Structure 1
Amino acid sequence: MTDRAGEVADPAPADPGRDVAGRAAAGFLHRYGEPPAGRWAAPGRANLIGEHTDYNDGFVLPFALPLRTVVAAAPRDGARWSVCSEFSEHPAEFGADEVAAPGRVTGWAAYVAGVVWALREAGHDVPGARLAVASDVPVGSGLSSSAALEAAVLAALVDLGGLELTAEQLPRLAQRAENAYVGAPTGIMDQSAVIRCRAGHALFLDCRTEAVEHIPFDLAAAGLAVLVVDTRAPHRHADGEYASRRAACESAAELLGVPALRDVPAADLGAALARLDDDETRRRVRHVVTEDQRVLDTVELLRAGRIRDVGPLLTASHASMRDDFEITVPEVDTAVEAALAAGAYGARMTGGGFGGCVLALVDAARADATADAVASAYAERGYRTPRFHRATPAPGAHRL
């Protein structure tokens, strides 16, 4: 939940011991003087594998995290919406005129206004509402805090207004809010994951057709854990670099005469690369094509219950992001190297790059030791102390 004005404060007294749903309800009571009508939650997400393939019409394999954003809400009369967040001391209020066009609501509240705008643009009678937001999803870490906010707000407004929308329709609405209203050029993966994921499963998503398959991903039964390392590395030129990678992929697809890089078979990669004159473009294409194949290979292993065997694919994905797509940073590479040296089966950066989080597939009994190894490597290099979470595949957006 980025506050683009840089305002990060708590409008109500925070209770660190209170769970996020309790904090959202308390924030609502503090702001509006009465309890909310309900609470709606949406998770952050980690992408097990499949980075920068979504906008290339390719394949991704995210799963939802126990970390979540909760919106406490109640209806109000008229076409007006007010929202407060524990991450900003400045609440926002806007009406139909302010959400009539992108750019009229700015800062963190634009994500909320964007959802209202997208619903209204799609012809839905959006109820006026009062909302309060609390979240455990780290901001700027590549775990989709913005999609979690959009999905929780969307779930609340759909329920409050009795709107007839299917789970298949919701991700596109949330994506439209982020793309067209906020102005962030994200693909469909984040919104699909935070809305459509199931507990104990990863979401195999075809980003062209939006077909999904829920792939069993029972880490506990296999004695495994996914350790999420929040590297706390500052994002370096992330917006511009993301846009440049996307433009390079679209240009390469045009040069190769295909609708998207997803249409270049891995078996024909060598021939495709030989048709490109620029080495940088060749490396960008090689990442996307091989990453799509790694997603497909990972899905096959998970279907067979061979979770440990996906480790080398995760590590190969990271090497491709580092060397071919050039989207990692030293803190991220250090976390991967330290986790592998500590015995992880595989490790990779997750998210758009230039900072963010690393996933490490480890024996559950070794998770703490792996975290210690990463923390020691960071201390030796003078990096900020990382934060750690154990990731258990969680459900998508729902009412509490």
Structure 2
Amino acid sequence: MTVASSAAAAFHSTFGTEPAGLWAAPGRVNLIGEHTDYNDGFVLPFALPQQVVAAAAGRDEPGWTICSDFAEEPVTFGSSAPGDVEGWAAYAAGVVWALEEAGFTVPPARITLASDVPVGAGVSSSAALESAVLTALADLGGLDLPVARRPALAQRAENVYVGAPTGIMDQSASIRCEAGRALFLDCRSLEVEQIPFDLAAESLAVLIINSNTPHQHVDGEYGARRKSCEEAARILGVPALRDVTADGLEAALGKLDDEVMRRRVRHIVTENQRVLDTVALLRSGRIREIGPLMTASHASMRDDFEITVDRVDVAVEAALAAGAYGARMTGGGFGGCVLALIDADRAEATTAAVEQAYAERSFTAPTTWSAIPGPGARRL
């Protein structure tokens, strides 16, 4: 049974009627550009085939009832404030809250959710949930809500209502990505450009390797990285680290006394440049040549930003040894997934190499799949 049919079947069994429609939003991986988003920098995500599907219909009485294939009981809520709804349902309640805060009349609705986006793998299952619910409610209510405005509302739901200090990349990717393209996002201006990323035409694939290490921002480490970056920008007298160029990096580092802060700044500045270099290569169709940039990005996350763990490092090393053009961790760090750019016919061999490396270290076996860039949030 597909995710869409699961959502529709759950709606019928829960509410006894058919949904008015089905709306889907994908998970995402970030091809390159990690922790640059909250530094007003550049990112380059693409949408995965895995998605959250919302089966939805209006209801006569006020309020919203949400149920999900990863929860036993439906959750019903009315207009609420941050903290009123907790757990997984807070992501949906946060979307309603953000829409109402923005002045929209949100249609009362019943929604069932089904998903095949891995949870805790760093592929933005939460943003996919928010984006699916937001897209469904916007359509059901006929809301005058341009697509370009939607990521910021979904982000506000996660930042303020749920309390997760994420940047805008995840929601932008889930809502604005296009099939066959990577989304070049300027996180300051929010301008986007759809960059050709036709892997099949070049007989290439991106192998997603889920390390099966829960993607957790351990002990507030994500927040600590963000605070360090913001403090460095203050010391350097710039609005954000995006304003430090690669050419000006050494001069900027000379103004910082703290060695840890110096490493954090070096990652952000060099990572922004790697995004720009990757975009330039993709614009000219030179996909294979982005591999070394991916690998350099991983080394920077490992050594300067210190957000990788053994299992993702081993996956990167094994994929490269098996012939990958490049490999890197994707996501906020401390677990999650690795991306490997490979020849399309090397997926099985690369997977076997990673599995062997994991078995030698008694790690839980990884999960892998090949991904091509898919579409963003939409009605099915």
TM-score bracket relative to the smaller structure:
over 0.9
d(CA) in 1 for partners of 2:39, 2:89? 29
Asked if 1:66 corresponds to 2:45, the answer is: no
- What displacement does 1:278 show? 0.5
- On the 8 A contact 2:217/2:332 being kept in 1, the answer is no
Partner amino acid, structure 2, of 1:195: I
**Partner in structure 2 of residue 385 of structure 1:** 365
Residues 277-296 of structure 1 aligned to structure 2 (within 5 Å) = 277-296=257-276
Residues 48-197 of structure 1 aligned to structure 2 (within 5 Å) = 48-96=31-79, 99=80, 101-197=81-177
Tell me, what secondary structure is at the counterpart of 2:319? helix
Q: Deviations over 1:85-116 (max 9, x none)?
A: 010112100012xx1x1000000000000000
- On the 8 A contact 1:78/1:127 being kept in 2, the answer is no
Partner amino acid, structure 2, of 1:307: I
Q: Deviations over 1:67-96 (max 9, x none)?
A: 111000000023310011010112100012
Over aligned residue pairs, what C-alpha RMSD do you find? Answer: 0.7
173 and 237 in structure 1: CA distance in 2 versus 1, 3 angstrom threshold: closer
- On the 8 A contact 2:33/2:44 being kept in 1, the answer is yes
Tell me, what secondary structure is at the counterpart of 1:215? strand
- What displacement does 1:258 show? 0.2
- On the 8 A contact 2:207/2:370 being kept in 1, the answer is yes
Residues 242-281 of structure 1 aligned to structure 2 (within 5 Å) = 242-281=222-261
d(CA) in 1 for partners of 2:336, 2:215? 7
- On the 8 A contact 1:238/1:353 being kept in 2, the answer is no
- What displacement does 1:237 show? 4.5
- What displacement does 1:163 show? 0.3
Partner amino acid, structure 2, of 1:178: E
- What displacement does 1:277 show? 0.2
Gaps of 5+ in 1: 1-17
Tell me, what secondary structure is at the counterpart of 2:100? helix
Asked if 1:334 corresponds to 2:317, the answer is: no
d(CA) in 1 for partners of 2:220, 2:364? 24
Gaps of 5+ in 2: none
- Give the structure-1-normalised TM-score: 0.94
Runs of 4+ in 1 over 4 A off after TM superposition: none
Q: Deviations over 1:16-44 (max 9, x none)?
A: xx010001001111111111110000000
d(CA) in 2 for partners of 1:254, 1:77? 52
Residues 357-372 of structure 1 aligned to structure 2 (within 5 Å) = 357-372=337-352
- On the 8 A contact 2:22/2:54 being kept in 1, the answer is yes
> Which stretch of structure 1 is more off in the superposition, 69-78 or 314-323?
69-78
Asked if 1:314 corresponds to 2:294, the answer is: yes
d(CA) in 2 for partners of 1:109, 1:64? 23
- What displacement does 1:368 show? 1.0
d(CA) in 1 for partners of 2:373, 2:107? 32
Report the number of matched residues.
Answer: 380
- What displacement does 1:194 show? 0.5
Partner amino acid, structure 2, of 1:145: S
Question: Matched residues, percent identical?
Answer: 70
